[in-house]
């Protein structure tokens, strides 16, 4: 019963943060602020929805002692790490490319990179 409630809680948190990420993608004014929403919120939300699978796997392993649930949990953990690292690096790549392409942050109080590399 406790494990079930924990899984539901983690799934709800993950879904809320994913929704906030997509709403931020639609609402924010320029690409850099949009990237704040998508990178942080969707990575965090996806980590939490996958964490539900990890909790489920260890819980069923504990109850049934069936090794397929160990495989499920370990593969979900590896998927979480792959997701977090690839999201961080690819958002950095897109931000760098956008600044090189000439997209400037439109509401901005300062732009030190513009002064350094015009």
Partner 1 sequence: MIPFLITTGSVLVFYLILTAGSGTIGLWSLSELVAGVCASVVAGLLTKSFLCHKGDYRMLNPVRLVLAVCYVIGPFFLEMTKANLDVAYRVITMRIRPGIIRVQSDLKSDLGIFMLANSITLTPGTITVDIDEETHDLYIHNINVGEGDEVRPAFRDHELFSLANLPAWIRRIAE
Partner 2 sequence: MTDPWLALPFWYPVVAVLLFLALLATVRLALGPTPADRAVAVDTVNTLVIASLILLSVQFNEMIFIDVAIVYAILSFVSTLFIAKYIGGELSG
Nearest to 35 by CA among 113, 80, 81, 92: 92
Our finding on whether 59 is near partner 1 (CB under 8 A) is: no
How far is the C-alpha of 72 from the C-alpha of 78, rounded, in Å?
10
Other beta carbons less than 10 A from residue 75's beta carbon: 13
How far is the C-alpha of 52 from the C-alpha of 66, rounded, in Å?
18
Residue selected from 13, 25, 61, 105 as contacting partner 2 according to rule CB under 8 A? 25
Binding site for partner 2 (CB under 8 A): 4, 7-8, 11, 14-15, 18-19, 21-22, 25-26, 31, 34-35, 38, 42-43, 45-46, 49-50, 52-53, 56, 60, 64, 66, 68, 71-72, 75-76, 78-79, 82-83, 86-87, 89-91, 93-94, 96-98, 100-101, 103
């Amino acid at each position: 019963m406790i494990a079930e409630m924990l899984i539901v809680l983690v799934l709800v948190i993950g879904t809320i943060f994913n929704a906030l990420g997509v709403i931020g993608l639609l609402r924010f004014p320029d690409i850099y602020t949009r990237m704040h929403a998508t990178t942080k919120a969707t990575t965090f939300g996806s980590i939490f929805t996958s964490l539900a699978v990890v909790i489920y796997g260890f819980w069923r392993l504990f109850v049934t002692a069936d090794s397929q649930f160990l495989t499920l949990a370990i593969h979900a953990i590896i998927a979480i790490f792959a997701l977090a690292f690839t999201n961080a690096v690819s958002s950095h790549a897109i931000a760098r490319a956008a600044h090189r392409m000439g997209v400037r942050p439109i509401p901005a109080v300062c732009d030190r990179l513009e002064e350094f590399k015009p």
